Amino acid sequence: MWAEIEKNLAAFETGVLNARDAAGYPYSVRCRPWPDHQVGVVRLGPVAGQEIQPGPASLLCHSHNEELWDLKVFLVRGTVEGAGDGLAFRPERTVTGAGLRAMVRMLMGARRSAAGYLKKRGLERPRIPWDEVEAVKGPPQAG
Amino acid sequence: MAAMGEAEGRSTTGRRSVLPPEVEEVFREFRTCEFSTVARDGTPIAWPLVTLWRPEEGRFVLTTSIGLPQKAFNIRRDARVSLLFSDPTASGLKDPPAVLVQGDAEAPDSIRTSPEHLPEYWTRLFEIQPAGKMYGSNRLMRYLMDWYYMRLYISVRPRRILFWPDGDFSREPSRIEVDRVG
């Protein structure tokens, strides 16, 4: 897992730490994560983070281009520890990797998942009103 | 509603808050936010999502397909969520603040299949993500991707808004306590 984390983190300049505050609400900050493999944690750079509570956390790296495409997502679950300059994320499990293969896997999994959602509720697969979908897309772009 | 800076103290219930214009601009122009929900084991899990800010209603609207329903499941168990606006790519904004919205969400179990349920959202989505128009553009894509349009709608009412000028997270954020924003 560590090699996968190092490889994926290298592809992103920044990431988002998702922890919780004292009231239990999610509390997210963008940071510059770098793996400290000697200690087995991901250092998170200078983050004020006084409200971040130690405990379960996740680290999300993602990017898109100017047209919200070329999507890349990398998500790891773990725990957050320390504070301020010493804030660190201890990874435990990769949820999804970045890149085309991971994206295709996710899309195919979503189709199965949708079928499961409907089956559990005893619902028929709904028909999509494609004419209404096409109408909201607007005219094709030139060029 | 009430919204005020930290130096002014907490808001007074019942007053209506006016957001700083640079914060509202972020809500309008950013392409995605990092949307966090709390998993069963207490881990906050974030995923990039497109949002629609509806100031007249004081809430955000997001959607998720029933093919990716975990966010909705998490909300039905624990309504506490957050939206972090921290990636200005394609927003056209210069040195915008980063904004964290903490709030309470609802994710009813109603599957919507028509964009006509919320045309404002879908029009915006196809404008900012034109390549997404390929979902359902031919018979094969309609077979493979019909689940994309089977949507659960998520509504988030802000409770607290924090923002970091210039997106500098090494500084303490400014805070807005919210009863109702708009």
Answer whether residue B5 shows pLDDT above 50: no
Answer whether residue A140 shows pLDDT above 80: no
Q: How confident is the model at residue B119 (pLDDT cuts 50, 70, 90)?
A: very high
Are B65 and A78 in contact, with CB atoms under 8 Å apart? Answer: no
| pLDDT digits 0-9 by tens, B38-69 | 999 999 999 999 999 999 999 999 999 999 99
pLDDT value at residue A113: 96
Write down the H helix ranges in chain B. 21-29, 70-77, 119-128, 139-145
Answer whether residue B181 shows pLDDT above 70: no
Who wins on pLDDT, B5 or A100? A100
pLDDT value at residue B135: 84
Which of the residues A117, A123, A132 would you substitute to probe the B interface, choosing the one with the greatest number of B C-beta atoms within 10 Å?
A: A117
Do B80 and A26 lie within an 8 Å CB cutoff? yes
Do A113 and B172 lie within an 8 Å CB cutoff? no
Which of the residues A29, A71, A123 would you substitute to probe the B interface, choosing the one with the greatest number of B C-beta atoms within 10 Å?
A: A29
Q: Supply angle C-alpha B106, B70, A34, rounded to 5.
A: 110
Answer whether residue A13 shows pLDDT above 80: yes
Are A10 and A43 in contact, with CB atoms under 8 Å apart? Answer: no
Do A125 and B146 lie within an 8 Å CB cutoff? yes
Question: In angstroms, rounded to a whole number, what is the distance separating the alpha carbons of residues A105 and A95?
Answer: 12
Query: How far away is chain B from the Cα of A4, in angstroms, using its nearest Cα?
Result: 19
| pLDDT digits 0-9 by tens, B133-176 | 888 889 999 999 999 999 999 999 999 999 999 999 999 999 99
Who wins on pLDDT, B112 or A47? B112
Residue in the block written with tokens 């089977």: B150
Question: In angstroms, rounded to a whole number, what is the distance separating the alpha carbons of residues B3 and A137?
Answer: 37
pLDDT value at residue A124: 96
**Mean pLDDT on A129-137:** 92
Do B38 and A26 lie within an 8 Å CB cutoff? yes
Whether CATH 1.10.3720.10 fits B6-108+153-177? no
Q: What CATH topology corresponds to A2-99?
A: Pnp Oxidase; Chain A (2.30.110)
Relative orientation angle of helices B119-128 and A130-137, to the nearest 10 degrees: 60
Question: In angstroms, rounded to a whole number, what is the distance separating the alpha carbons of residues A105 and B146?
Answer: 17
pLDDT above 70: percentage of residues in chain A: 94
pLDDT value at residue B6: 40
Query: How far away is chain A from the Cα of B16, in angstroms, using its nearest Cα?
Result: 23
| pLDDT digits 0-9 by tens, A62-81 | 988 888 888 888 999 999 99
Which of the residues A16, A120, A137, A141 would you substitute to probe the B interface, choosing the one with the greatest number of B C-beta atoms within 10 Å?
A: A137
**Mean pLDDT on B80-85:** 98
Who wins on pLDDT, A25 or A11? A25
Closest listed residue to residue B31, CA positions, set B82, B90, B83: B90
Torsion sign across C-alpha atoms A75, B106, B101, B77: negative
Average pLDDT of chain A to the nearest whole number: 89
Question: In angstroms, rounded to a whole number, what is the distance separating the alpha carbons of residues A115 and B99?
Answer: 36
**Mean pLDDT on B81-106:** 96
Who wins on pLDDT, B15 or A28? A28
Task: Domain ranges for chain B, please list them.
Answer: 6-108+153-177
Answer whether residue B2 shows pLDDT above 60: no
Task: Domain ranges for chain A, please list them.
Answer: 2-99
